[in-house]
A = this chain, B = another copy of it.
């Protein structure tokens, strides 16, 4: 495994063109699924079960799980909550198992199932994640969940931030990783201002969830790294050690 490959997959629709063998896949859905997953597990959630469809989520009803569902940026009627990080506070999630379906993020997680490991990245856990990735004797594929298979600015910029932390001798980047890093270097001086132009920021302003954006752009709030095991996300590392 020399050189170590760092690649960025800018849309889940491009995943079939990447080799997941010997590769850690990092799923990125900054606004807001991956941010909420990191925050929820750091706040003591036992596990988060990502499912692709609303029906799958509903199948967990009446079993003591918290059911979370987001579509088009809003909580789906009849569910406990969606993917706002403010629903993943300690009071709400400690000791609970959450079943979550979102427009983009949970689908991306399922598509990565063939990787050696699937972990979750967000600005909230970026240093813990990057340090762990640096230590792995595996290639790294940063998978942007995007929006309905379209490229999203916030996921791409975050991927670039991780590339920027991992770059070094013996590291090989693909063109998408170089592009993402360039975006990040341009954005990092004022992330919020840069991402204010993103289509998802507009979508979220429209839904009056602007405070979620500011929350999701906070750096290093947790050291938790969510990792997929047997179909559920638990903590790999961090201040709260839970297992599914």
Binding site for B on A (CB under 8 A): 10-11, 13-14, 16-17, 147-153, 156, 174-176, 178-179, 182-183, 185-186, 197-200
| 21 examples of A-B residue contacts, CB within 8 angstroms | A10-B10, A10-B11, A10-B151, A11-B11, A11-B14, A13-B13, A13-B14, A17-B150, A147-B175, A150-B174, A150-B175, A151-B174, A153-B179, A156-B175, A156-B179, A175-B200, A178-B198, A179-B183, A182-B182, A183-B183, A185-B186
Chain B contacts of A186 at CB under 8 A? 182, 185-186
Q: How far is the CA of A175 from the CA of B149 in the complex (A)?
A: 12
Q: How far is the CA of A199 from the CA of B183 in the complex (A)?
A: 18
Chain B residue at minimum C-beta to C-beta distance from A154? B175
Q: Shortest CB–CB separation between residue A79 and chain B, in angstroms?
A: 27
Contact at A150–B199, with CB atoms within 8 Å?
Answer: no
Contact at A178–B153, with CB atoms within 8 Å?
Answer: yes
Main secondary structure of the interface of A (DSSP, over half): helix
Q: How far is the CA of A183 from the CA of B178 in the complex (A)?
A: 10
Q: How far is the CA of A179 from the CA of B156 in the complex (A)?
A: 9
Q: How far is the CA of A43 from the CA of B149 in the complex (A)?
A: 40
Contact at B148–A17, with CB atoms within 8 Å?
Answer: yes
Chain B residue at minimum C-beta to C-beta distance from A160? B179
Chain B contacts of A10 at CB under 8 A? 10-11, 151
Chain B contacts of A175 at CB under 8 A? 147, 150-153, 156, 198-200
Chain B contacts of A179 at CB under 8 A? 151, 153, 156, 179, 183
Q: How far is the CA of A114 from the CA of B14 in the complex (A)?
A: 22
Contact at B150–A14, with CB atoms within 8 Å?
Answer: yes
